[in-house]
Structure 1
Amino acid sequence: MRALFKEAQPGARLIDAPVPTPGPGEILVKVMATSVCGTDMHIYNWDGWAQSRFKGPMIFGHEMTGEVVQVGANVDPSLVKVGDHVSAETHLACGHCYQCRTGRKHICANLRILGVDAPGIFAEYAVIPAENAWVNDPEMPWEIASLQEPFGNAVQTVLAGPGVSSRTVLVTGCGPIGLMAIQVARASGATTIVATDVNEKRLALARGMGADVTVNPREADVVKVARDATRGNGVDVLLEFSGNQTAIRQGFGALTYGGHASMLGIPAGAIEFDLANDIVFKAATVIGISGRKMFETWYQVRELVTSGKVDLKSVISHRVPLTRFEEVFDAVNRGEAIKPVLLPQEL
């Protein structure tokens, strides 16, 4: 089978690999669509984070959907069976640590991630644990089904804490997950949504997805614009996706006293932060978001997608065969892609 193999250097190479065999409790999936995320870009570019974290050399990638073609021993057919269309929950939890046994598998103390710690899914076939398979409606398009995993990050960020219903919201960073979050916030009853990014194309997409006000921080004062849009109060909820130190400072500057912040963006390194004024004296509530809840968030994702409350097609920028992976990764690096989808079964 064709697969993208990652070694300890920038880039990746297409290889001919054997089709994996599912072991006990595992399933073999014919991969129909995979989407590219920020983690994949770190690994592809081989930056400092990837060098310290990636457990290769191996096949990488983790956002996927496909058809089950084989099941290993001890797989309960009521859970998943041959012929099912599935997506993958990419967090591989141990099941026995304190977090797992108290209903928080998504932050397992021994967490592993497909395509980072275990062989990934940028391939024509992939093996995943049966318990990590999310069975989809067979009518759901492959490309949309492949986006449910990252969409779950957006859903968890928006709905964490008090949520956004009847609240004003600031979204910092209009990458694919930030754009998805705007749709979730709108579907969840946010009153005013302000979105920031330095990319004008992404700001235009943000407006199309429901943002009431968009701001390029290179051209305007984000804090002033956000306060003007909220009668001087500041926003009730900050949804942080950029991982950029300046954007984070602007976000907390725009947050009202007693406001809530959900933080998903990951800075490249340690950042300076005014803890006293931005959190303590503001009595702000801050929640770190790590992926999706297993599997509460997946149920929320399914309802949002199948009800038509969100349109995931709008964030897909590329649909290309796996063999043309280089043009997709290059487009992301140039800032010309939003959410690319690779199609392993196409030539």
Structure 2
Amino acid sequence: MTVTTRPEEPSVESLGEVGEREFAGLAERHRRELHVHCYRMLGSFEDAEDTVQETFLRAWRRRETFEGRSTFRAWLYKIATNACLELLAKRRPEPATGGEVLWLQPYPDRLLDELPTDDVDEPESVAVARETIELAYLVAVQHLAPRPRAVLILRDVLDWPAKDVADLLGDSVNSVNSALQRARAGMREHLPAERQDWTGGELDDATRDLVRRFTDASLAKDVTTVATMLRDDVRFSMPPTPGVYVGRDAVVANWVADGFEDLPELRAVPTSVNRQPAVAYYIWNASAEAFVPLTIDVLRISGGTVTEVFIFHADRFPRLGLPERLPADGSGVTS
């Protein structure tokens, strides 16, 4: 894991005389944390990338309006949050419903490792430790209306004071506090009941063993054995394909109906996304004489069982830094 320390932000009182190169240097140091912030707001890795680029463009164009009353970092967060709210109003005017988020995309841990971790009190470090980047959290957040969503993330994740959030949104402190109460109630409704018991962080030996056994059984297309590792009320979804399946029998039936047991030979590469264990599967392609990307299974594990499975399509492999193919001998991977 790469530990990134946050460089001290220089004293910035006015940007009117700052050149483009210097401005880019000031902004770039905040790219990763702004990207994670936009990702929480939007649920989509690619939408977050577009929004960060839009944030930097707006900041450059409006640089003369920065008067140093807040930090440069806070000013960027304000621009990014408002850009997210505008995008949500345009593309997704209604929040998610029914427990599924079709636009959900995974976030590679290798990029989360770029977040500053030099200070245990740094809001982003605490936020990641509190698992506000895990997929179940992202799904719950997407069920909130945009403004309460922004309030929740700014207040509970980034630990902003209510007055600062009110200033950012052009609202009153009372309105912010009311929105926060509604958002927290919504999160309790949509988060898994056992969420407070999640451990997060590094995987323990028992979890590693469960992931290994899950992977081995999947490679063997042994649905019966895979089923023994699923909790009774396990949830399964495959964004952007519609549908959420709840319960071991419903999930297994869906996998069987989709021809899981009849797949050609598979290989697997262990990885991690959103601070969760994940497995990238590759399928044999005779014409390519190699194993090519198939899907990525992201697991939520609680109480020694798999409680949720998110499966993402092969188009996510490049973003996650995974190989574009594996050799026929399967060297260096699970088989």
TM-score (norm 2): 0.27
TM-score (norm 1): 0.26
Larger Rg: 2
